[in-house]
Structure 1
Amino acid sequence: MTVTAAAADTEIQPYRWRWVALFVILAAEVMDLLDALVTTIASVTIRQELGGSDSLVQWLGAGYTLAMAVGLITGGRLGDLYGRKRMFVIGAAGFTAASLLCGVAVSPEMLIASRVLQGLFGSVMIPQGLGLIKEMFPPRELGKAFGMFGPVMTISSVGGPVLAGWLVDADFFGTGWRMIFLINLPIGLAAVLAALRFLPEYRLSNATRLDLVGTALVSAAAFLLVFPLIQGQEQGWPVWTFVSMAASIVMFVVFGRYESRRARAGRDPLVTPSLFRKRAFTGGMVAGLAFFSGMMGLGLVFNLYVQGGLGFTPLQAGLTGLPQALGGVVGFGLAMSGLQEKLGRGLLQIGTLVMGAGAAVLALTIHLAGLDVSSWQLAPGLALVGVGMGLTMAPFFDIVLAGVEPHESGSASGTLTGVQQLGGALGTAVLGTIFFNLLAKEWDFGSAMQVTVWVEVGLLALTFGLSYLLPRRARPEQAGH
């Protein structure tokens, strides 16, 4: 079944295999969500067995999220041009093959390169599934279909780190940490075969061409920023690291000017330039960068702390982080119970305050208990961090998108999603570098962790301040999406 844009408007009956197809798409989401989380738990073991420097731990996460950030900007358009089913199959097959390469990696360099491939193929796979759902389901069932993502994301966020820790500790067939990647093989192969059988084909008859120059410019700018942040600490911050970061700023400016010229020439830009003239959107972008940087960076450093400093096994580390994941579920649940519609921007602000309070409790607990701190003692602070995280994330996209015009919403959504992933890469680089730099200066794990937590509190304070640039409420037609 191939549907073009013209035919989609007159299609009366939804695709009859839509619920089967939905589970195929959800399987792909599970792979992506798990692989975004598992290396934070397994990174210490991976470095011990595979070798490499401190930067390996950071690149395991940053390589994946950076590639995902860049790829997501164009991933959706590939489906418009060449067909969503085709690109979903290519993305899922590539992601599975990259997972195999991760699982058989024989050097840090091979593992990092394979993680980048995972991120790139993931950025091709994920947008197609979301686009297909909108085409397969009639309006009356669309909410129910998207509602399935909530439980999947919840189960993945709660169970992912625990599963990763269990797989590493169980050492099935002598694979150790490699099993966290090899487990994708049966899931990925099943997703590819089921997609070939059950997904409908859909593409736009008037899809715009790819902005390859814009993609290259923004990719170079992001790499020039993240690479020196990760590599600089262990090389003593040579001059080239600062030159690279300065060049990154120049490259972002060049990218912005190129996109403006492209728009004035009547060609479809990668990012709509008018978005950056809107205070609400630019404020939301910077707020999102600060929030997601702190969230992802703290997750990495916390797992380094509990395994390297407290001597926890990977499974113990995964279980220790469980209160934060469960707190996130509670936060999302509270937001969806009516608070999001009632409070609007205020809910996001309350969430950052709760998350900041949780981080402060965590830092105080670590300070008072020292290296004898137990998982139970860490639980209250982590749970508060999780609740605040859920309260903040639930309204974030809707509130930021309320400040853009309807014709800009597609570009704005893609840009915000890219910022979310870029924030993850940047947070892994910055907070990880701070942590490793303090350890290199012979600070103990507890003191280094406390400093990192207070940096996260600072990023949350920045998020809170920038939130006043955002609209008070989401538009009615955007709420809940």
Structure 2
Amino acid sequence: MQLTKTGSVPLATLLAAEAMNVLDATITQVAGPAIHADLGGPASAIPWFGAAYTLPFAMLLFTGGRLGDLLGRRRVFLCGVTMFALASLCCALAPGTGVLIGARAVQGMAAALVIPQTFGLIKAMFSGPALAAALGWNGPVVGLSAVSGPLLGALLTDLVSWRAAFLVNVPISLAVLVAGRTLPEDRAEHPVRLDVQGTLLASLGMGLVVYPLLDRWNWALFAAGAAVLVLFGFHQRNRRHPLVEPSLFEHRGFPAALAASTLFFAVMNGLMLVVVLHQQLDEGLGVLASGLTLLPWSGGLAISSWVAGKWLVPRHGSRVAFAGLALLLAGILLALGGTLPIALGIGGLGLGLFTVPFFTAALSVVRPQETGSAAGLLNAVQQVGATLGIAVFGSVFLHGRSVVGAFSLAAVLVVATMVATVLMPRTGAFATPRRP
């Protein structure tokens, strides 16, 4: 399943933008203490260096997908990249904690415009085996970018400054904007109006659910957020043009994919945070040394992604995802015995085997007119999962300084991910989308 030279440049452009946006979701995990030491402010602001990005990212992905349907995916993609570059520059120049957190929020909004368009444009440019090959790149790019964020943040912080971790986005964004001329314009065949009420309900609900998990664990706010999300569900059922297409839930495979994505990215991001905190707070390692601890994790993902995409997934399809989760579970259990570097390497191999077939399988039941909504929803739960993972795993570790407790929780969630994956659609050499 080879991509043509003509298609490889636009695909590389989309993947570069996606990698940049996903990477920035985790880039402050290691650098947070150094940023706080430089800018000052309360210590409680440190988690918000990451959450200020992931929260608006998650909350506005619904809207980003629908705007692509309405206004054209290429146009929205380029606007989002421009906005991301400017916000990154503001982060790099931030004189204080408040400005940085605000600029991070704008970055997250821009990412919500960029990410959904990558799925839609890929599906517009490719079909059949070439589409499967293009989507097959998406999983490892997302996974490797997410696990590489802390390592890159640590490297730039130690060698230059934490500001360089944001400034590097500017030249990458400019390159993407230049190469973005090769992208075709694409929009929904029958675009519908934006559901403003649905957007507000979804944003409010997710914000109320996630906020108390990051600050003070206010269960009343959490319950209120859950109630608002239930109201959002009923609101969508009664809308002529809902923000989230109800037809996505007609096949059990897509809701199962949403659950698997939430759980998987919660484990991946939560464990990265626990490992880094353990190395810095318990072992006394510096920023760079603690970041390098994750090298087996990201290296294992890179190797297994390449092997899975080239040989395993074309032969065995989505069954490779189960092997990936089994390896991830084995790595977690091994970590409980104390052999952390080897455990992280094995776990990283599992990450790559899972992420390569996951997105292809998740989107195999999506109709063309559902692409924007599906992409926004799939990426939204990914970011919600990442945020929940950071909040929950961070709390488990910090309250009891228990690495064992955090890894035990991760093992339980990986088993739950396996159950959700069983219900996902099965794919072979390439996915066959549903007919309109």
Per the shorter chain, which TM-score range? 0.7 to 0.9
The letter of the residue matching 1:414 is G
2:226 counterpart of 1:249: yes
Shift, 1:101, TM fit = 1.8
Taking a change above 3 Å as real, the CA distance of residues 269 and 476 of structure 1, as seen in their structure-2 partners, is farther
Distance 2:388 2:346 in 1: 24
Shift, 1:148, TM fit = 6.3
Alignment of 1:307-318 (within 5 A): 307-318=280-291
Shift, 1:140, TM fit = 8.3
CA contact (8 A) 1:278 1:404 kept: no
Match of 1:7 in 2: none
Match of 2:166 in 1: 181
Taking a change above 3 Å as real, the CA distance of residues 285 and 17 of structure 1, as seen in their structure-2 partners, is closer
2:392 to 430, 435, 438: 430
Alignment of 1:120-135 (within 5 A): 120-135=109-124
CA contact (8 A) 2:132 2:360 kept: no
Match of 2:274 in 1: 301
2:417 to 448, 458, 463: 463
Match of 2:86 in 1: 97
Shift, 1:300, TM fit = 1.6
Shift, 1:247, TM fit = 0.7
Cα deviation, 1:385-420, whole Å, max 9, x if unaligned, reads 111222222333344455667765654443222211
1:396 to 338, 345, 358: 358
Match of 2:344 in 1: 382
Cα deviation, 1:320-363, whole Å, max 9, x if unaligned, reads 21111111123323433554465556433332222122112223
2:308 counterpart of 1:335: yes
Match of 2:204 in 1: 220
1:45 to 21, 34, 53: 34
The 3-state SS of whatever aligns with 1:87 is helix
Match of 2:156 in 1: 167
- Residues matched between the structures, number: 430
The letter of the residue matching 2:238 is R
Distance 2:364 2:127 in 1: 25
2:407 to 442, 448, 453: 453
Distance 1:41 1:102 in 2: 16
Shift, 1:254, TM fit = 0.4
The letter of the residue matching 1:189 is L
CA contact (8 A) 1:20 1:198 kept: yes
CA contact (8 A) 1:224 1:247 kept: yes
1:34 to 23, 30, 49: 23
2:183 counterpart of 1:230: no
Match of 1:13 in 2: none
Distance 2:47 2:74 in 1: 33
Match of 2:46 in 1: 57
CA contact (8 A) 2:147 2:272 kept: no
Shift, 1:285, TM fit = 2.5
CA contact (8 A) 2:10 2:182 kept: yes
Match of 2:242 in 1: 269
CA contact (8 A) 2:137 2:356 kept: no
Cα deviation, 1:35-84, whole Å, max 9, x if unaligned, reads 12321221222223233455433322233222222222222332332233
Alignment of 1:9-158 (within 5 A): 21-53=10-42, 55-135=44-124, 156=145
Stretch moving more, 198-207 or 350-359: 198-207
Give me the identity figure in percent. Answer: 40
Stretch moving more, 461-470 or 339-348: 339-348
1:210 to 152, 175, 194: 194
Taking a change above 3 Å as real, the CA distance of residues 475 and 416 of structure 1, as seen in their structure-2 partners, is farther
2:339 counterpart of 1:358: no
The 3-state SS of whatever aligns with 1:364 is coil
CA contact (8 A) 1:62 1:424 kept: no
Match of 1:5 in 2: none
Match of 1:284 in 2: 257
Distance 2:251 2:73 in 1: 32
The 3-state SS of whatever aligns with 2:190 is coil
Structure number with larger C-alpha Rg: 1
Stretch moving more, 278-287 or 319-328: 278-287
Taking a change above 3 Å as real, the CA distance of residues 151 and 280 of structure 1, as seen in their structure-2 partners, is closer
Stretch moving more, 64-73 or 143-152: 143-152
Distance 1:386 1:455 in 2: 18
Shift, 1:428, TM fit = 1.2
CA contact (8 A) 2:136 2:356 kept: no
Taking a change above 3 Å as real, the CA distance of residues 390 and 279 of structure 1, as seen in their structure-2 partners, is same
In structure 1, list runs of 5 or more residues that go unmatched: 1-15, 366-376
CA contact (8 A) 1:63 1:425 kept: no
1:474 to 417, 421, 427: 427
CA contact (8 A) 1:55 1:230 kept: no
Match of 1:8 in 2: none
Distance 2:188 2:364 in 1: 26
Distance 1:91 1:203 in 2: 16
Taking a change above 3 Å as real, the CA distance of residues 276 and 52 of structure 1, as seen in their structure-2 partners, is farther
TM-score calculated relative to the size of structure 1: 0.79
Taking a change above 3 Å as real, the CA distance of residues 400 and 194 of structure 1, as seen in their structure-2 partners, is closer
Give me the CA root mean square deviation. Answer: 3.2
Shift, 1:121, TM fit = 0.4
